[in-house]
Structure 1
Amino acid sequence: MEQLHPSPEHHPEPGNWPTPETAYALAPSIIREIGWTAQTAADKPFGTALGREFWLRKAAVLDRIALAGEDAGSPGDAREVATEAARRLMDLDDTTVICDPRHYVRQQYIHWAKHQ
């Protein structure tokens, strides 16, 4: 599996965060992403760590689920779960960015999607 690195944009200006619509414009369906993350986790050999792509895509799909709940007026626990997954990605990236973790996921996802 190719090692993916965080984008070089670790000190962006607050106004430079992509909107969810922009960040996820190239994203597969939520169902497809759930399937990809589940299959990737299931296929992982015991004792090996999941890579950055897994954590980025998992955080992004959870963010998208949370956004759908927020738009429907019933975020439930999705917002908290999405934020925790985003923090996991930030920890993995050892980033110095101080921001809403979900904004960081969107920025990193758009960078990743454009370079596929």
Structure 2
Amino acid sequence: MKQVIDRHNLHSQNLHKFDQPSLQLQLESSTYAILSKEMADRTRELRQMKGEELQELNMEELMRLEKSLEGGLSRVVQTKGERLLNEIDALRRKEAQLTEENLRLKQHFIWR
């Protein structure tokens, strides 16, 4: 009889545990909520950077967005300029190499 009562009490305690979510589950749920909000915020920011969903922004937010875009654009322009200069340098080296080779070939045929 004692065993039956013990099993009944154990079963009742286990049912009570299922009513309350575990601490781990609560933490995961909280983390999920935080990450979901973060993702929604980042998605909205990306849309605004593409010029979408701007009507909800006030003047200060628009100015902040404009400054952010200008900073990004200046980095793009700078990187593009550096790459163009590198390509020009590479082409000049190639030109010098081909000119030298052309001269060498001309001399080779003259001496024949």
Give the structure with higher Rg (CA).
2
User: Relative contact order, CA 8 A, sep 6+: which one is greater?
Assistant: 1
TM-score by structure 1 length?
0.23
Structure number having the greater helix percentage = 2
TM-score by structure 2 length?
0.24
